[in-house]
Amino acid sequence: MSAVKDRGEKDREEKNREKRMSLGAHLIELRKRLFISALAIVIGAAIGWWLTDAFVWNALQEPVLRLADAQGNTSEMAIIFPTISSSFDLMLQISFTLGIVISSPVWLYQIFAFLVPGLNTRERRFTFGFFATAIPLFFAGCAAGWFVLPNIVKIMTSFVPEGGETLLTAKEYIDFVLKLVVAIGIAFVVPVFIVLLNFAGVISAASIIKSWRVAILVIVLFTAIATPSADIVSMFLLAIPMVALYFAAWFIAHLHDRRVERRNRLEFGAAV
Domain that holds residue 165: 2-119+126-271
pLDDT for res 272: 45
pLDDT greater than 70 at residue 12: no
pLDDT greater than 70 at residue 101: yes
Please state, in angstroms and rounded to a whole number, the distance separating the CA atoms of residues 240 and 223: 10
Please state, in angstroms and rounded to a whole number, the distance separating the CA atoms of residues 170 and 184: 21
Model pTM? Answer: 0.68
Higher pLDDT, 181 or 14: 181
Q: What is the largest CA-CA distance in the chain?
A: 89
User: Mean pLDDT score of the chain, rounded to an integer?
Assistant: 78
Report how many domains make up the chain: 1
CB 185 within 8 A of CB 101: yes
Q: What is the pLDDT of residues 15-40, one digit of tens each?
A: 444 445 676 777 888 888 899 999 99
Please state, in angstroms and rounded to a whole number, the distance separating the CA atoms of residues 165 and 75: 8
Q: What is the pLDDT of residues 205-229, one digit of tens each?
A: 999 999 889 999 998 888 887 766 5
Task: Give exposure, 11-26, as e/b (b: 16+ Cβ within 10 Å).
Answer: eeeeeeeeeeeeeeee
For residue 43, name the pLDDT band (cuts at 50, 70, 90): very high
